[in-house]
Chains A and B, each alone.
Chain A
């Protein structure tokens, strides 16, 4: 348990709903859920194994104060952002955004599930694309495929080779980028300055919320 997590847990003691409302982005919507279940039923990932709790169950768990179960759940990370739930919700809850808000909050507290593929992809993608302002597709795929070991990476790569060849033919993938470099923005410094500023503003806003 990280320090930030313990602080928040102590501060909101028995009111996890309030914690989510105040600290997680879009968390103020959670209380509007009327538990109809249309979001869960609409979720394309919901009829496949692999994720713990559908959105409306997560919302109920938040109200029930199941802090640890919610924050360490993989559910928010499984959201594919298809927005089915968002458009069908009879109360117009921005469910997709709420899920992302809770995921981000769990990450910030350092309690998000380790080795969760979405989390891993998000981080890798971010590091990859902020470096040059453009994504180096070869390196991004490499780091994803080989995350579970060398043999697993080779196997995955062979599985996907037809897709890769197609991308190469369509000039969407440049094999040479495996060596480094690759395409980039004209003004890398400008992009990085902009991102740094955005990060600073966000950190300030969230620190203010956490300190309030």
Chain B
């Protein structure tokens, strides 16, 4: 059984992405006990799946490394991976929480040597790379995964494949007997940092995502550009593996649309502007990017970044929400619409189309086991009736990494105040 030490002075952080990690660290570094619950077998969330950040164009691995170092050095944080909160009862200062733990089938003896992965031949979808490729069913989710331990996928447990993996392990790290378990713990305050998911592009039917191979999403494009991604960092067309030198970006794919997401997702303009750098870096002057937009929302200090991209002769801007996409005989996506600057009709072929899909809160449609208020887009809001549960990061709003970290720090501060009150009352 997994044992969790927690009291009503403990802060529970749900979600181990950049917001959850930040909230957990900020709280723990002020001396609070923290339990950090993450559904994936690794921490870092969607930030870890980015190739680079805007505006500094540095790699998320850097920022994550700093946070992981803080985490490893802090004895007050207990991390539960492959864990989901299933129930919350009680009130501010005195919550009882149940957490369901899914077995990893690999214990702490694992050295990430990779022998089990070599022994296994079964393959599963590569979730870290947005299912763009396949990986072995005994896998390290990504090179910087924390905990740095392999995972045996549950699909092979009970098959000879799992036995092969166990036989290959020199360290006795594979435990196929592990069972799902439910642990109960106490918490004084809860930070809900479950993040976001990309909007399902298949719902935007005129763009034919899922049907045309060369129409992909912005999160998938991040993986294409990443050297650890499925193409080794080369920007190649999914249909034929040809170099994609003429790339179109469609802004507001789902966002600011009453038929899809009502809100502006805020990060996608900067995301696409950033991704034009990937095209430029990969192909130099032969790499052309075209951004189709309603209006560019490079908020506050990002205006400078926008101005620089705009000055690049290899990047063009077309003020138009693309009406539909068709495909020519070479599987080039063809974009149809009207340029609203001058009302010019166009039908432009491109090598690759990147849909800048928006953020949908992960909490939307999910049954949070507690009463929380949500806005019309499903983002959770501060609820005076439930004053011990705080949203953080993209669970509360469409935010970029920088703003998510600010939001998480604010949530940590509120949670700290709750447990401080509990501590005073008990003293």
Contact = CB atoms under 8 A, between A and B. Distances in A.
A34 B257 CA distance: 11
Nearest to B343: A57
Given A36-B321, A46-B345, A90-B257, A41 B252 contact: no
Interface in B334-352: 336-340, 343, 345, 347
Contacts of A91: 258
B323 A41 contact: yes
Interface string A1-44: 00000000000000000000000000000000011111011100
B340 A35 contact: yes
Contact of B252 (A40, A54, A89, A90): A90
A70 to B, nearest CB: 15
A89 B257 CA distance: 8
B410 interface: no
A37 B340 contact: yes
A41 B347 CA distance: 10
Given A54-B343, A56-B340, A88-B206, A37 B320 contact: yes
B343 A41 contact: no
Contacts of A90: 252, 256-260, 321
B322 interface: yes
A91 B294 CA distance: 13
A92 interface: yes
Contacts of B347: 47
Interface string A85-115: 0011111100000000000000000000000
B324 interface: yes
A53 B339 CA distance: 13
B41 to A, nearest CB: 38
Contacts of B294: 34-36
Nearest to B340: A37
A156 B252 CA distance: 46
A36 B252 contact: yes
Contacts of B337: 37-38, 40-41
Contacts of A54: 338, 343
Given A36-B340, A46-B345, A88-B206, A41 B258 contact: no
Contacts of A46: 338, 345
Contacts, number: 65
Interface in B138-163: none
Nearest to A39: B323
Interface centre among A35, A37, A54, A56 (most CB of B within 10 A): A37
B336 A41 contact: yes
B361 to A, nearest CB: 19
Contacts of A34: 256, 294
A41 B259 contact: no
B189 to A, nearest CB: 39
Contacts of B259: 87-88, 90, 92
Given A46-B338, A53-B343, A90-B252, A37 B321 contact: yes
Interface string A101-133: 000000000000000000000000000000000
A46 B337 CA distance: 9
Interface string B254-273: 00111110000000000000
B343 A40 contact: yes
B323 A47 contact: no
A25 to B, nearest CB: 21
B356 to A, nearest CB: 14
A37 B339 contact: yes
Interface string A164-206: 0000000000000000000000000000000000000000000
A38 B323 CA distance: 5
11 contacts: A35-B294, A37-B319, A37-B337, A40-B343, A41-B323, A41-B337, A41-B338, A41-B345, A46-B338, A47-B345, A90-B252
Interface of B: 206, 252, 256-260, 294, 319-324, 336-340, 343, 345, 347
Given A40-B345, A46-B338, A54-B338, 20 more contacts: A36-B340, A37-B323, A38-B321, A38-B323, A41-B324, A42-B206, A42-B323, A42-B324, A46-B345, A54-B343, A56-B340, A57-B340, A87-B259, A88-B206, A88-B323, A90-B256, A90-B257, A90-B258, A90-B259, A92-B258
> What 9 A-B pairs are tightest by C-beta distance, nearest first?
A41-B323, A41-B337, A36-B321, A90-B257, A40-B338, A37-B340, A42-B323, A38-B321, A92-B258
Interface of A: 34-38, 40-42, 46-47, 53-54, 56-57, 87-92
